[in-house]
Amino acid sequence: MREDSDVFLMGEDIAEMGGSMGVTQGLLDEFGPERVRNTPISEAGIVGAGIGAAMQGMRPVVEIMYEDFLTLSAEQIVNQAAKHRYMSGGQLKVPLTIRTQGGAGWSPGAQHAQQLEAWFVHIPGLKVVFPSTPTDVRGLLWTAIHDDNPVLVFEHRLLYPVKEEVPDELEPIPFGQARTVREGEDVTVIATGPMVHRSVEAAVEAEKNGVSVEIVDPRSLQPLDEEALVASVKKTNRCVVTHEAVTRMGFGAEVASVIQYQAFDWLDAPIERVGAKFAPLAFAPVMEQFIVPNSEDVLAAIYRTVGRDGN
Amino acid sequence: MAQVVPAERDLRRVIGDGDAVPDGEVEGLTEHDLLELHRSLVLLRTYDERSVVYHRQGRIGTYAIFWNHEAMQAGSVYALEDEDWIFPSYRESAIGLLRGMPARTILQWWRGHPSGWWNPADYNVASICVPIATHVPHAAGLAWGKKLRGETAVAIAYFGDGATSEGSFHEGANFAAVTGAPVVLFCNNNQWAISTPLSAQTRADALVDKAVGYGIPGIRVDGGDVLAVYEATREAVARARTGGGPTLIEAVTYRAAPHATADDPSAYIDPERVEEERKNECVGRYERYLRRLGVLDEAAAEQVRAEAAELMRTGIAEAEAEPPADVALVFEHAHVDPLPAFEDDLRELRGG
Ligand SMILES: Cc1ncc(C[n+]2csc(CCOP(=O)(O)OP(=O)(O)O)c2C)c(N)n1
Ligand SMILES: [Mg+2]
């Protein structure tokens, strides 16, 4: 925002309050109310107006308070933002960034914790990223804002407290570049968002039992760094795919398909998928814990892949 | 008709200030009615204040405080028949108390226990809607359905000032108008939507003006005045029941508490205004009115409070005594007939 006056923010309660998760705190003071704008509670309007501003060259960053409420702006995202370039014969650009957050683990129930990124990776015309660390958020958000396509940036509520040293100089992270979180020999875990951290816990545990786990975070889901994922599986010969979203019909199925098609002859075990049970998220903590995947679920899947070929 | 005290911008008021502004009265309300309204107010206030304490004690989860919103809820529900349907938002979470719903049930909702999910048809109180304004079309549709079936019931939907910015509000209101649905659209204008003031939500002079655009009657009422709210809702309900279609009620009040227990309003609120509003909160205001009328004495008021406190003590004790949720319900409740896709997960649950 300091470098480019075309970048501005809008969303519900992002100004004085700094957003419901405090992400935009302090920005109102620095950039003023025209560039850090509280909007009416109008999710279709927020994205729609963002599209309009983007069409004439601005680089809006809009926030949808909970990703569950992307549903209210779905027409604008799916039929409008994603299609404008195509339906202008490739002449129009919509350099719009849509930030949103979600995720379970704090018992918010069925309408405030869903992980809906798989809906949007399915739409040609959109790009989708899901950072899991502060460095990745910074680098990917930079790329999203400068990208000439509409980009959805998914943040996970439980990852806001994650702390790490970030480099002084901002390093943009290109889309379509996975990050190897941890190197290993026996099995590759392809994980997104909070599952990256839960997989690291599982890997530490597996290590104690002599199973060496490699973890790869695709970071950008659309485009997807197929090459990196396939290369890792060709090295380890086993694969677990994990996300917090519902397993069935999910993003992990696409990843599994990519792996089996490109690395079929290298696989020593069926690809395991770890995600949420096929149930609406529950308010009750015991129920939520049952539905949402944790590090033990990842660990069990790791053991299944190595157990099956007799290791 | 009420003796409505003239006020700025057609804001209907009945209760005076005990000084320059004289008290009015609502035609047809007996002393019994006046005391029933008082009981409702105290019940809601007690529920709310105890809930904030329970939250601090870690006995319920994040809770949407409705302190100083009681007059809107008690006054409007009193104008309904039991057959009429209520569509609450999170701000009206305890409105079922006024229909005989046990405190235990609502407390379980806030505790995240599945027994907090009541059957709407048992009380004609729909499930609490947390996504903003998305229940407005439901109320319109339910009311229209009642009309199509030749039934006499009406519906009322509660939503906030911020909700009027949502497409669902607009579509629901317009749909109700076009179908002539017997529904009351009740806007709790507490002038805040979390940190966003009404002035950033709309440029309309008054939210009630939106009624003009839908071609339906609008009533603007003092939301801190339980009698004025009752009277306004009674008028709207009578119109709906006799084929006159929907009414938009804008009840003007002020959010004198945080948005919810998780909210820290210090970054945006005006503390002096809040202090001032708290002094004029709706329960005390009504009690002073009843005393001026000579209808309420302190002993009677004390007894009503004691009964409400006892109801809450019982409610939380019953809620906490319930066994933890049966996890299998997440599958059983998702579809009428569980999908084959659940089988694997159920097997895992049963340890098979
Ligand atoms: C569709 C949708 N968008 C955003 C939110 C987040 N949210 C919860 S409460 C709220 C403010 C609502 O304000 P208002 O309608 O005035 O009702 P009040 O809380 O004041 O009773 C917002 C934006 C939501 N729950 N649903
Ligand atoms: Mg409000």
A286 at interface of B, judged by CB pairs closer than 8 A: yes
Does residue A169 sit within a domain?
no
Band the pLDDT of A90: cuts 50, 70, 90. Answer: very high
CA torsion A201-A207-A213-A216 (nearest 10°) is 30
Q: Where are the alpha helices (DSSP H) in B93-218?
A: 103-111, 120-123, 136-148, 167-179, 210-214
Q: Do A196 and A73 share a structural domain? A: no
Q: Do A82 and A123 share a structural domain? A: yes
Active-site residue (options: B135, B259, B285, B289): B259
The predicted pLDDT at position B217 comes to: 98
- Which residues 162-181 of chain A have a CB within 8 Å of chain B? none
Instruction: For chain A, give the mean pLDDT.
Output: 96
The predicted pLDDT at position B1 comes to: 37
Of B200, B324, B331, the CB nearest to A279: B331
Residues of A within 8 A of B132 (CB-CB) are 41
Q: Comparing C-alpha atoms, which of A106, A2, A18, A43 is closest to residue B112?
A: A106
E runs forming strands in B2-147: 85-87
Superfamily for domain range B8-321: Thiamin diphosphate (ThDP)-binding fold, Pyr/PP domains (3.40.50.970)
Structure tokens at B218: 């609008």
Q: In this prediction, what percent of chain A has a pLDDT beyond 70? A: 99
Separation of alpha carbons A166 and A311, rounded Å: 39
Band the pLDDT of B8: cuts 50, 70, 90. Answer: low
The predicted pLDDT at position B349 comes to: 75
Separation of alpha carbons B85 and B121, rounded Å: 9
Using CA atoms, how far residue B257 sits from B50, B75, B95, B187, B253, in Å, is 14, 20, 18, 18, 12
Instruction: For chain B, give the mean pLDDT.
Output: 94
Which residues are CB-neighbours of B40 under 8 A, at least 6 positions away?
B70, B73, B74, B77, B78, B98
Q: Do A218 and A120 share a structural domain? A: no
Question: Which one of B185, B186, B194 would you pick to mutate in the ligand 1 pocket, going by the greatest count of ligand atoms within 8 A of its CB?
Answer: B194
CATH, residue A80: 3.40.50.970
The predicted pLDDT at position B352 comes to: 54
Q: Work out the average pLDDT over A10-36.
A: 96
CATH, residue A203: 3.40.50.920
Separation of alpha carbons A156 and A104, rounded Å: 8
Whether the CB-CB separation of B91 and B158 falls below 8 Å is answered with: yes
Band the pLDDT of B332: cuts 50, 70, 90. Answer: confident
Q: Do A42 and A136 share a structural domain? A: yes
User: Interface pTM (ipTM) of the complex?
Assistant: 0.92
Of the listed ranges A115-119, A283-287, B59-63, the one predicted with least confidence? A283-287
Q: Do A24 and A142 share a structural domain? A: yes
Strand pairing class (B192-193; B196-197): antiparallel
Question: Is residue B343 scored above 90 in pLDDT?
Answer: no
B3 at interface of A, judged by CB pairs closer than 8 A: no
Q: Do A253 and A138 share a structural domain? A: no
Question: Is residue B136 scored above 90 in pLDDT?
Answer: yes
Question: Is residue B3 scored above 80 in pLDDT?
Answer: no
Chain A to chain B, count of Cβ pairs less than 8 Å apart? 101
Q: Do A302 and A198 share a structural domain? A: yes
Does residue A119 sit within a domain?
yes
Of the listed ranges A279-283, B27-31, B222-226, the one predicted with least confidence? A279-283
A109 at interface of B, judged by CB pairs closer than 8 A: yes
Whether the CB-CB separation of B223 and B16 falls below 8 Å is answered with: no
Question: Is residue A309 scored above 70 in pLDDT?
Answer: no
DSSP state of B9: G
CB contact under 8 A, B196 and A291: no
Q: Do A154 and A192 share a structural domain? A: no
Nearest atom of ligand 1 to the alpha carbon of B194: 11
Question: Is residue A129 scored above 60 in pLDDT?
Answer: yes
- pLDDT (tens digit per residue) in B50-84: 999 999 999 999 999 999 999 999 999 999 999 99
Q: Work out the average pLDDT over A22-32.
A: 97
Q: In this prediction, what percent of chain B has a pLDDT beyond 90? A: 89
Band the pLDDT of B351: cuts 50, 70, 90. Answer: confident
Using CA atoms, how far residue A97 sits from A77, A128, A135, B50, in Å, is 11, 10, 18, 43
Q: Work out the average pLDDT over A94-121.
A: 95
Question: Is residue B166 scored above 70 in pLDDT?
Answer: yes
Q: Work out the average pLDDT over B270-279.
A: 95
Peptide bond between residue B246 and the one before it cis (omega within 30 degrees of 0)? no
Range of the domain at A274: 179-307
Does residue A11 sit within a domain?
yes
Band the pLDDT of A224: cuts 50, 70, 90. Answer: very high
Which residues are CB-neighbours of B142 under 8 A, at least 6 positions away?
B85, B87, B126, B155, B183
The predicted pLDDT at position A308 comes to: 55
Whether the CB-CB separation of B259 and B194 falls below 8 Å is answered with: yes
Q: Comparing C-alpha atoms, which of B98, B109, B265, B254 is closest to residue B195?
A: B265
More confident residue, B65 or B10: B65
Q: Do A152 and A37 share a structural domain? A: yes
Separation of alpha carbons B140 and B322, rounded Å: 36
Strand, helix or coil for residue B123: helix
Active-site residue (options: A12, A67, A84, A112): A112
The predicted pLDDT at position A310 comes to: 39
Q: What is the total count of domains within chain A?
A: 2
The predicted pLDDT at position B318 comes to: 98
Q: Structural domain boundaries of chain B? A: 8-321, 328-352
Q: Cβ-count burial of A166 within 10 angstroms (0-12 exposed, 13-18 middle, 19+ buried)?
A: middle
Strand pairing class (A97-102; A127-129): unpaired
Whether the CB-CB separation of B305 and B311 falls below 8 Å is answered with: no
Q: Work out the average pLDDT over A88-116.
A: 95
Q: Work out the average pLDDT over A252-266.
A: 98
Does residue A174 sit within a domain?
no
Q: Work out the average pLDDT over A95-116.
A: 95
Which residues are CB-neighbours of B262 under 8 A, at least 6 positions away?
B62
Residues of B within 8 A of A286 (CB-CB) are 324-325, 327
The predicted pLDDT at position B238 comes to: 98
Residues of B within 8 A of A253 (CB-CB) are none
Q: Comparing C-alpha atoms, which of A105, A49, A37, A110 is closest to residue A76?
A: A49
